[in-house]
Every structure is written in C-alpha cells, then in structure tokens.
C-alpha cells in the first residue's frame, strides 16, 4: 500500500475523517480519495484490496463508495474486516456490484465473486438478517444493512415498459426479492445490486 496524494497523509495526521472511492481508477468522485491497485494520475492511494489497508488508521474513514469493484476481490472476507476496522461507527458504505444473473458478469475473466441479495448477510448478526438466516461466523466484521435494491438495465422497449413495474414491486418487499432470485432471475436477469451498510461497532 502506498499513499500518493499528500492531502491524504495530511488529513490522517490531523485526525480528519476521509472518504474513499474504492476502485475509482480514473473516475474522481467529489470529496473522495481514489484508492486503486493501478497507479493512475487520478489515484490517491495505491493498494491491493486482497491485502490489509495497513496505512489507514482505525476509525479514519467516514464514507466509502465502491462501484463494480468487490466482484474482483478474492479475499472479500479480509477486505470487509479491513473496511470495518478503518470505518467509524457512523460511516456509511455504498456498495454497487453486478447481480449474479447479469450475463456480462461471466464475460469478465477478472470477476471472481458473484453477489446476490444474501451475500451481505454473511457479514451481519443473525438478528439483523432479513429472510433466510445465513452463517456469519466466517468473519468478525459486522455491518447493519441500511438499504438494498436490485437494478435492471433499460436497453430496449421491453425494458422501458417492464422495468419500472418490476423495480417498484421487487424493491418494496424483501420477500419479493427472494422469490425473484429463486425463480425468475434467469428469465429476466438483473443488472446490479446496490446496498448501503454501516459498521456495527
């Protein structure tokens, strides 16, 4: 891990809370520091997400944004534990990943981990889980779910007509999301899964 932008070091040294755009690459997000494995001009911190975020102190991050990145991480358990460590108790993490039914998920040879509506539950206490209870003893990191929704692509006329209705029904009730994943994903695939979570400390 290497901090490239002196502003990151100054903020951490001053005890300021920072915001991270994980896997941001060349895309800047206002107010966020980019963290990526590739040393691009827009990257503020170079880090391999499969390894500890060793230069970030405990409770130094107040917000995390990551879009279509976590499906590339082999050591997801380790990364989630590191995010839990570096984030404050009030921090909010916004996670966007391809849904496992997205046909493009399987085209990318760098994708190593599919995500579904239950994936995040493996990092939640059973009392905080909705629907089917899943084991959460694989990781010590615990989070609370703030929101979760499935998003559909709207690339043709059928999508434009069908998606608003489907989205409004499915994302209103978790039981509808569960039925969709069990029975209908391969008939009408989703595009991505969007979640907001908060560390449980």
The per-residue pLDDT for range 22-73, each reduced to its tens digit, is 999 999 999 999 999 999 999 999 999 999 999 999 999 999 999 999 999 9
> Does 101 map to a domain?
yes
> Does 81 map to a domain?
yes
Mean pLDDT of the chain: 96
- Tokens found for residue 44: 């503020």
Give residue 158's pLDDT band: very low, low, confident or very high (50, 70, 90): confident
Asked if residue 111 has pLDDT above 90, the reply is: yes
Contact between 20 and 32 (Cβ < 8 Å): yes
The pair phi, psi for residue 40, each rounded to 5°, is -95, 160
> Does 157 map to a domain?
no
- Tokens found for residue 117: 């509506």
Asked if residue 156 has pLDDT above 90, the reply is: no
pLDDT score of 175 = 94
pLDDT score of 25 = 92
Q: Specify which residues 145 forms β-bridges with.
A: 197
The CATH number given to whatever domain includes residue 13 is: 3.40.50.150
> Does 184 map to a domain?
no
> Does 176 map to a domain?
no
- Output the CA torsion sign for 67, 71, 73, 76: positive
The total number of structural domains that make up the chain? 1
> Does 79 map to a domain?
yes
Give residue 162's pLDDT band: very low, low, confident or very high (50, 70, 90): confident
The pTM of the full predicted model, rounded to 2 decimals, is 0.94
Q: What is the mean pLDDT of residues 160-178?
A: 91
pLDDT score of 194 = 98
> Does 158 map to a domain?
no
Structural domain harbouring 51: 2-151+192-199
Q: How far is Cα of residue 11 from the mean position of the Cα atoms in its chain?
A: 24
Measure the CA–CA gap between 2 and 84, rounded to whole angstroms: 20
pLDDT score of 114 = 95
Contact between 97 and 191 (Cβ < 8 Å): no
């Amino acid at each position: 891990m290497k901090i490239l932008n002196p502003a990151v070091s100054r903020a951490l040294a001053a005890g300021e809370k920072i915001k991270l755009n994980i896997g941001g690459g060349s895309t800047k997000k206002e107010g966020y520091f980019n963290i990526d494995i590739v040393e691009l001009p827009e990257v503020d911190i170079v880090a391999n997400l499969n390894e500890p975020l060793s230069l970030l102190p405990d409770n130094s991050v107040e917000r995390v944004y990551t879009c279509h990145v976590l499906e590339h991480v082999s050591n997801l358990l380790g990364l989630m534990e590191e995010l839990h460590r570096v984030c404050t108790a009030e921090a909010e993490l916004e996670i966007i990943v391809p849904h496992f039914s997205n046909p493009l998920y399987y085209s990318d040879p760098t994708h190593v981990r599919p995500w579904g509506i239950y994936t995040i539950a493996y990092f939640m206490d059973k009392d905080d889980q909705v629907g089917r209870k899943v084991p959460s003893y694989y990781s010590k990191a615990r989070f609370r779910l703030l929101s979760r929704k499935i998003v559909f692509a709207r690339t043709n006329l059928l999508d434009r007509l069908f998606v608003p209705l489907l989205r409004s029904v499915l994302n209103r009730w978790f039981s509808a999301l569960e039925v969709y994943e069990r029975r209908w994903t391969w008939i009408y695939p989703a595009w991505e899964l969007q979640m907001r979570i908060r560390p449980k400390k």
